[in-house]
Amino acid sequence: MSAVDKSGFFERVYDVAAKIPEGRVTSYGAIAKYLGAAKSARMVGWAMNASKNRDDVPAHRVVNRNGILTGKSHFGGSNAMQQLLEAEGVQIHELKILNFDAIFWDPIIELNS
DNA sequence: CCTCTGACCGACA
DNA sequence: ATGTCGGCCAGAG
């Protein structure tokens, strides 16, 4: 199996986030739970912060469990995060994903099938 | 080396 | 239903 080569929490987060299909979104807790550390959801978000060094990690597709673009503030200061998601066909209203339940991409389900 | 904080989530009162 | 607290890992001062 690929990935998990670098014994690091961040590397695993990058690996999962990089597999998020276009037009789909997931939550920090979902990734953390998939990694077996649901309580480390904060760390996932923080890993996203470091993901700025990784071009393969679409942090804009990762939101909180409310479907709100919490990390938007970290996305360069503007609503670039929402713009990116809308560009992929994700309907958002005031940083809130409308059909969040419909486009939600769960790594536990998708990667486990 | 020690301390604090951080893009969250779930439990409890 | 609303507010508060703990927890997890890693990096910066």
Return the pLDDT at A76.
80
Return the pLDDT at A7.
63
pTM higher than 0.75:
yes
**Which bases along strand B come within 7 Å of a protein CB atom?**
6-10
Footprint of strand B on the protein (CB under 7 A): A 27-29, 32, 38-39, 41-46, 48-49, 51-52, 59, 62, 64-66, 70-71, 73-75, 81
The answer, yes or no, to whether residue A3 has pLDDT greater than 50, is: no
The answer, yes or no, to whether residue A113 has pLDDT greater than 80, is: no
Closest nucleotide over all strands to A49 (CA to C1'): B7
pLDDT per residue over A8-63, tens digit each? 899 999 999 999 999 999 999 999 999 989 889 999 999 999 998 888 999 999 99
HEC profile of chain A: CCCCCCCCHHHHHHHHHCCCCCCCEEEHHHHHHHHCCHHHHHHHHHHHHHHHHCCCCCHHHEECCCCECHHHHHCCCCCHHHHHHHHCCCCEECCEECCHHHHECCHHHHCCC
